[in-house]
Amino acid sequence: MNLEITCLARLLFAGALGGLIGLEREFRSKEAGLRTHFLVAIGSTLFMLISQYGFTGALQALTSQYGPEISFRLDISRVAAQVVAGIGFIGAGMIVLHRRFVVGLTTAAGIWTTAAIGLAVGGGMYISAIAATVLVLIGLELFMHISDSIRHQKREMNVVFLADNVAARDAVLDAFNGQGKSVVAYSSEHSGGKVRVNVDLEIPEKDAKAGKLLEFLKTMNGIETESIK
């Protein structure tokens, strides 16, 4: 009975910690929110509990059958190792390529860390689990504010240009990113035998000048600038 209470308490505790991280992700309107993180924490904790206590009955049965002189051993770390590998499939599902840019990495990392927290709770490492949860929440919020402050030092600009072909378009987009001009979003369509591209950029304030962008585009082959604003 004491074991069952211990397992129940660990499951509830893991769900609470995972839920806290999920609430933060839900607040940020991310793909994986409260329910996902809650389930990952509960699931990983349950796997750890099964690894620790789920085979006790089988060991006792074998011992009673073959006698105490026969010893049996179980590697309880194997289940935890499979959780670490298996959670990667969920995390990979969070990462998508959107308009040539990868999104969902933070969410995938959060899922991965939540699974680790669940394993820690399942193993009885309560202090470490609490510390990890606090660090995750502080890190997500703190670095969000730092990222926002960095963005405030940048200016958004819009560029419309004609490219001779898709390869020329991609060369410009790669060049933008390579020079610190972050491509926020872009769209393209075929127009008169060329590719018309509309790009939203985030540019450092000191470089946010239409003249500089125009000179930059003139250096690119197969590009004709329509507007910069």
Dump pLDDT digits (tens) for 155-176.
777 888 888 888 888 888 888 7
Residue 173, C-beta contacts closer than 8 angstroms, at least 6 positions apart: 100, 183, 186, 199
Q: Where are the domains of the chain?
A: 2-149, 154-228
Residue 40, C-beta contacts closer than 8 angstroms, at least 6 positions apart: 18, 87, 90, 111, 114, 115, 118
Dump pLDDT digits (tens) for 120-151.
898 888 898 999 888 888 887 777 666 655 55
Of the candidates 17, 203, 184, the residue with the CA atom closest to the CA atom of residue 110: 17
Helix or strand (DSSP H, E) at 45: helix 34-53
Label residue 68 by pLDDT band (50, 70, 90).
Answer: low
CATH, domain range 154-228 = 3.30.70.260
**pTM (2 decimals)?**
0.55
Dump pLDDT digits (tens) for 32-45.
678 888 888 898 88
The whole-angstrom separation of Cα 133 and Cα 137 is 6
Q: Is the pLDDT of residue 80 over 60?
A: yes
